[in-house]
A and B are shown apart, each in its own frame.
Chain A
Amino acid sequence: MIGERFKYTMLLASLPPHAPDLFSTTQTPVSRFQLDKRLALLEARDADDLRHIEELLHWAHAESRTDEQIIKKSQETMALIHDDFLKKLICWRLELRTLISALRKRHAGLPAPDKHAFAGFGKWPFFIVKNWHEHDFGVGYQVPWLSQAQELIAQNRSYALEKLLLNLVWQYYAREGSQHYFDFPAVVIYVLRWNVIHRWTNYNAASAAERFDQLVDAGIEKLVLND
């Protein structure tokens, strides 16, 4: 019991802590290269679990696939994860995506799906189909942020919506991680929060503009030199 709870003490102590506030972060606390070097300390089974979890949450696996294919593949990958707590953690994120995809589809003017025709995770597809025309699919009392997300989608405020969702995920991981200090779930939560920071810092408009300028300058310089 003690062994499991303190299995990755060295690994986690070797990682710099995440900042309490996601949006004040300008860069990841450690580079992916360094993070991967530390993650080499994971046991083979745990390393596989972490790889499956990252695969599940990374959008790359969803490219050029239908919703049904994505869900089938996700369920297959989910079955490979050993820890129930981690399954719950991932399921929450996939359920969030299910709700957001329903909001976006409705906003895009898609008709109400037929019974059992909405592909998604968890208990929400049933409510989505049943209450398609209600602004919060009738589950606003269980999912308090849904109304706000719906308003942001209706107003086409994508950036604010993205901030809302990232903050939800960030806070959820922080809450779930508060009971795990040096065990495997703590490692997974660290990596998932790292991914959230990575995504946020990549969205940084000022950095993007600066990078764009650098690329343009480099291109012009190259052209001048070639001439």
Chain B
Amino acid sequence: MTEFIVIFLGWMGLFAPMALGAIGSIIGCTIAGQAAIGAMLDSESGYGRYVGVSAMPSSQVIYGIVVMFTLNRTITANIAPGIFAIGILSALALMLSAIYQGQCCASAIHAAKAKPEIFGLSIAPAAIVEGFAVFTFIFALVLADGIPKT
């Protein structure tokens, strides 16, 4: 029974970066997308860049997919704890970064609509959040390399 639970957790850790990354991207893109649609109602130009910014939180699901494939191997009781730890923690970081990046993007769109000249600067916070997601992604890959393949 214990082995079953350990292996189950290993599988959870394997799929978590993809699933939680997707959940984060869904929420982040929804928040930013709604701001983009609202901004379009109140402006005469710049529609493309609003939509572009609102898509920023979609990168986390891509990082999640790559981490999932990197972790993918035959799950045994030996390697399951490592996969669970790296998978769940990177998944949580990716999910939260996507959600909060969505909030940054919504604020950026709202601010840039009122003051178009600050558009570049207004997306800096979202880019910084993206940087943290990239850290998570890179170091999850580095650590995943240390887990035995079988």
Contacts and interface: CB of A to CB of B under 8 A. Distances in A.
A-B complex is real: yes
Interface of A: 2, 6, 9-17, 38, 181-182
Contact of A13 (B27, B42, B99): B42
A9 B104 CA distance: 12
Nearest to B31: A6
B95 to A, nearest CB: 11
B105 to A, nearest CB: 10
A27 B35 CA distance: 25
Interface of B: 27, 31, 34-39, 41-42, 99, 103, 106-107, 109-110, 113-114
Given A13-B39, A14-B39, A17-B114, A6 B103 contact: yes
User: 10 closest pairs, A vs B, by CB?
Assistant: A13-B38, A14-B38, A14-B41, A10-B34, A10-B38, A9-B34, A13-B35, A17-B114, A6-B31, A13-B39
A181 B42 contact: no
Contacts of B114: 16-17
Contacts of A2: 27, 31, 99
Given A2-B27, A17-B114, A9 B106 contact: yes
Contact of A6 (B34, B37, B41): B34
28 contacts: A2-B31, A2-B99, A6-B31, A6-B34, A6-B106, A9-B35, A9-B106, A10-B34, A10-B35, A11-B38, A13-B34, A13-B35, A13-B36, A13-B41, A13-B42, A13-B106, A13-B109, A13-B110, A13-B113, A14-B39, A14-B41, A15-B38, A16-B42, A16-B114, A17-B114, A38-B41, A181-B110, A182-B31
B110 A10 contact: no
Given A13-B109, A38-B41, 18 more contacts: A2-B27, A2-B31, A6-B31, A6-B34, A9-B34, A9-B106, A10-B35, A10-B37, A10-B38, A12-B110, A13-B34, A13-B35, A13-B37, A13-B38, A13-B113, A14-B42, A17-B114, A182-B31
Contacts of A12: 38, 110
